[in-house]
Amino acid sequence: MGSYMEEKGRSRKWQRQPEKWIVNECKKKRNSGKGYVSRHTKKEVPAHTIGDPCTCRLKCFEKLGMDVIEQIFCNF
């Protein structure tokens, strides 16, 4: 029986590929702010976007400028 196993060879099992699992793909997209489809409710969750400029007295959006705010948003 031992010689039969040596001649035939052992079969290879499937290798795990957790980066391709739907759960992990959704998790990566959710954490990075991209849009994804919810696994349980099947609803499409839109990507995060920059909100409207604030109206505070510090004038944050005017001081920084929209291009700097977009760069910060993308890097975050």
**Structural domain total, the chain:** 2
Cα–Cα distance between 38 and 58 in angstroms, integer?
Answer: 38
E-state strands within 1-76: 36-37, 44-45
Range of the domain at 66: 49-76
Report the pLDDT averaged over residues 44-66.
Answer: 88
Identify the weakest region by mean pLDDT among 15-19, 39-43, 58-62: 58-62
**pTM (2 decimals)?**
0.59
Q: To the nearest 10°, report the CA torsion of 43, 49, 53, 58.
A: 110
pLDDT confidence of 41, banded at 50, 70, 90?
Answer: very high
9 domain-assigned: no
Q: In terms of domains, do 41 and 63 share one? A: no
